[in-house]
């Protein structure tokens, strides 16, 4: 198979992913092999490529928002059938036995392993995964629309839950990329007001087109403090800012897997009045199933920008430079349905 491979971390400006021919993978016991049609381009991929997440010491194929069709079943695999379309997401393995796994918090499992980081991902023609960590993709979504739901959507959905937002309330969003453009559609479906604070003009235009009640660059100009807030931008400096513009008893969710250092905060100004800060760590499989169900019911319409698989470096650079409108999606030659 052909794949874009990371052999050594480097800045995306140096085009570190290499186009390579590798042996076709074979599914092991309980696994399925997917012929990849599309794969989303995620900021976590950028963190992997540039070593903001610790390098695992061996070449890896990035990508964890994979949509494809099963072409081979491993021994004992029977949850899916060949030719069935499925998705592969970030969480790909947990121990299933620890206190976290047994209490519905498998996202915190100490033995968790992740797609496109610990194991090869979807910047390739083929990918394998344990069938228990795969997701059936609702028919309402095309191959190009579905990938952002498998990470941006799932993490955005978990972040929304962690923010404590209830129907009819107000939500402030800081940073408006792939996750945020899905979250706003869910929040609007809940009858909530949405305030979006983001630097990029394209991101502001997209937020307006998706129904944001206020869009701007300066949080101080928001119409009112929000009931809940989510920071999607990996900028720790936004934490005290977001808390200042949160109602008493409100909750701020921090959605990123990586964030720059958080400044010193003033207790009364930022944390008093029972304000809450909730971090977000990966997701559970239940989060993924819930998100796909909700997304199909609304239905959510991810905005995507398409790139050929060989142009993965360019797609990551677009992401880093905030040029991406919505979500980047790599299309494998011959894949895609729209």
Residue 336 has pLDDT above 80, yes or no: no
Task: Please write the tens of the pLDDT for every residue from 54-74.
Answer: 988 899 999 999 999 999 999
Give the separation between CA 13 and CA 230, rounded to whole angstroms: 29
Distance linking the first and last C-alpha atoms of the chain: 24
Task: Please write the tens of the pLDDT for every residue from 162-193.
Answer: 999 999 999 999 999 889 999 999 999 999 99
Give the separation between CA 253 and CA 245, rounded to whole angstroms: 13
Do 44 and 136 share a domain, yes or no? yes
Q: Return the CATH number at 266.
A: 3.40.50.720
Place of tokens 């009858």: 191
pLDDT of residue 87: 98
Give the separation between CA 185 and CA 13, rounded to whole angstroms: 33
Do 99 and 197 share a domain, yes or no? no
pLDDT of residue 204: 94
- On whether residue 296 sits in a domain, the answer given is no
pLDDT of residue 262: 94
- On whether residue 159 sits in a domain, the answer given is yes
Give the separation between CA 158 and CA 280, rounded to whole angstroms: 7
- On whether residue 338 sits in a domain, the answer given is no
Task: Tell me what the mean pLDDT of segment 278-295 comes to.
Answer: 96
Do 14 and 142 share a domain, yes or no? yes
Residue 263 is part of which domain span? 153-279
- On whether residue 292 sits in a domain, the answer given is no
Task: Please write the tens of the pLDDT for every residue from 30-52.
Answer: 999 999 999 999 999 999 999 99
Residue 91 has pLDDT above 70, yes or no: yes
Do 18 and 128 share a domain, yes or no? yes
pLDDT of residue 334: 61
Do 184 and 135 share a domain, yes or no? no
| Average pLDDT taken over every residue of the chain | 95
Task: Please write the tens of the pLDDT for every residue from 93-123.
Answer: 999 999 999 999 999 999 999 999 999 999 9
Do 136 and 159 share a domain, yes or no? no
Do 184 and 271 share a domain, yes or no? yes
pLDDT of residue 57: 86
- On whether residue 311 sits in a domain, the answer given is yes
Q: Pick from 5, 42, 3: which is nearest to 320 by CA?
A: 42
Task: Tell me what the mean pLDDT of segment 277-287 comes to.
Answer: 95
Q: pLDDT class for 333, splitting at 50, 70, 90?
A: confident
Place of tokens 């239940």: 286
pLDDT of residue 335: 54
Task: Please write the tens of the pLDDT for every residue from 186-243.
Answer: 999 999 999 999 998 989 999 999 999 999 999 999 999 999 999 999 999 999 999 9
Q: Pick from 177, 117, 213, 188: which is nearest to 304 by CA?
A: 177
Task: Tell me what the mean pLDDT of segment 260-268 comes to.
Answer: 94
Whole-Å CA distances, 142 to 67, 148, 288, 329: 10, 11, 17, 12
Do 134 and 195 share a domain, yes or no? no
Residue 322 has pLDDT above 90, yes or no: no
- On whether residue 214 sits in a domain, the answer given is yes
3-state class of 283 per DSSP? coil
Q: Return the CATH number at 12.
A: 3.90.180.10
Question: Please, what sign has the CA dihedral across residues 284, 159, 207, 197?
Answer: negative
Task: Tell me what the mean pLDDT of segment 288-314 comes to.
Answer: 96
- On whether residue 297 sits in a domain, the answer given is no
How many domains, the chain?
A: 2
Give the separation between CA 49 and CA 104, rounded to whole angstroms: 31
Task: Tell me what the mean pLDDT of segment 291-310 comes to.
Answer: 96
Alpha helices in the chain (DSSP H): 43-49, 99-102, 152-163, 178-189, 201-209, 238-244, 285-297, 312-320
Question: CA 121, 9, 153 angle in degrees (round to 5)?
Answer: 40
Do 9 and 27 share a domain, yes or no? yes
pLDDT of residue 337: 52
Q: What is the CA radius of gyration of the chain?
A: 19
3-state secondary structure 63-108: CCCEEEEEEEECCCCCCCCCCCEEEECCEEECCCCCHHHHCCCHHH
Question: CA 151, 301, 177 angle in degrees (round to 5)?
Answer: 50
Do 8 and 132 share a domain, yes or no? yes
Do 157 and 264 share a domain, yes or no? yes
- β-bridge pairing 226-231 and 170-174: parallel
Do 62 and 112 share a domain, yes or no? yes
Residue 338 has pLDDT above 90, yes or no: no
Task: Please write the tens of the pLDDT for every residue from 245-258.
Answer: 999 999 999 998 88
- On whether residue 295 sits in a domain, the answer given is no
């Amino acid at each position: 198979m052909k794949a874009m491979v990371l052999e050594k971390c480097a800045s995306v400006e140096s085009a570190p992913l290499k186009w390579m021919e590798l042996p076709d993978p074979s599914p092991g016991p309980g696994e399925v092999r997917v012929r990849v049609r599309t794969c989303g381009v995620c900021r976590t991929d950028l963190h992997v490529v540039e070593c903001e997440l610790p390098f695992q010491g061996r070449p890896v194929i990035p990508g964890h928002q994979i949509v494809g069709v099963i072409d081979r079943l491993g021994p004992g695999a029977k949850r899916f059938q060949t030719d069935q379309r499925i998705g592969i997401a970030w969480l790909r393995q947990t121990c299933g036995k620890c206190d976290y796994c047994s209490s519905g918090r498998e996202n915190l499992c100490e033995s968790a392993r992740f797609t496109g980081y610990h194991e090869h991902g979807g910047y390739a023609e083929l990918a394998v995964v344990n069938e228990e960590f795969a997701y059936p993709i609702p028919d309402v979504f095309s191959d190009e629309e579905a990938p952002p739901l498998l990470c941006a959507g799932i993490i955005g959905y978990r972040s929304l839950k962690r923010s404590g937002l209830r129907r009819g309330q107000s939500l402030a969003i800081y940073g408006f990329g792939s996750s945020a453009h899905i979250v706003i559609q869910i929040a609007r479906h809940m009858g909530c007001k949405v305030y979006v604070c983001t630097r990029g003009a394209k991101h502001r235009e997209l937020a307006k087109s998706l129904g944001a009640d206020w869009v701007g660059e300066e949080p101080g100009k928001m119409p009112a403090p929000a009931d809940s807030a989510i920071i999607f931008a990996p900028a720790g400096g936004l934490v005290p800012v977001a808390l200042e513009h949160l109602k008493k008893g409100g909750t701020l969710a921090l959605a990123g897997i990586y964030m720059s250092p958080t400044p010193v905060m003033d207790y009364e100004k930022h944390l008093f009045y029972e304000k809450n800060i909730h971090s977000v760590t990966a997701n559970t499989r239940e989060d993924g199933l819930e998100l796909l169900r909700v997304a199909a019911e609304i239905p959510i319409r991810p905005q995507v920008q398409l790139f050929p698989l060989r142009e993965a470096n360019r797609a990551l650079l677009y992401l880093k430079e905030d040029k991406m409108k919505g979500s980047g999606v790599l299309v494998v030659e011959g894949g895609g349905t729209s």
